[in-house]
Chain A
């Protein structure tokens, strides 16, 4: 079946540090890949997505590249801010309306 494995948290960083959250997936075919972010007390919102191999999604300084050879979609940001503190979810959609989410990674950025 389809599944997503992402780096366990929590992750605590200082402002301006580099952030990487690893995400690997198992799927048949060619799924679309997503990163969603959940700020405290809120619902999820799309951060970025990629729909085919080698696509790079980017938004708000975050980037992730769809790597089919390593079945990965790692999230990176070069310089985090306190406002980036949130839970980050990697997800995939194989094309059947379902989103399969990873377990979520809690990120806390300290000033």
Chain B
């Protein structure tokens, strides 16, 4: 059984479109994250939710909006997509223990904006 799953795995879309990426974890964790990995493999955290409450909101354009309907799900909606949004987006989850927890990553969603 997949611990952290993301859909879709690949997403190719036009500039200006709106798209969503979904993430689900079946580990019983209470904290979930979104990361962006650029073409040089650099990873940056975007958002984190703990028990459905937003706890990390890094400097991300407000075109990006996370939503956590419950502890097991964290979705990412992106409005007005731009070329620079092309990247791999990873969802992750952990059991909140303030820095001691291991984060479990999903397989990634490869977004290409044309």
Binding site for B on A (CB under 8 A): 31-32, 34, 36, 38, 42-46, 49, 51, 87, 89, 93-99, 101, 103-104, 106
Contact = CB atoms under 8 A, between A and B. Distances in A.
Interface residues of B, number: 27
B100 A51 contact: yes
B90 A43 contact: yes
Contact of A96 (B40, B99, B102, B106): B99
Interface of B: 4, 31, 40-45, 48, 50, 55-56, 90, 92, 94, 96, 98-108
A45 B102 CA distance: 9
B48 to A, nearest CB: 6
B41 A44 contact: no
Given A32-B99, A43-B106, A97 B48 contact: yes
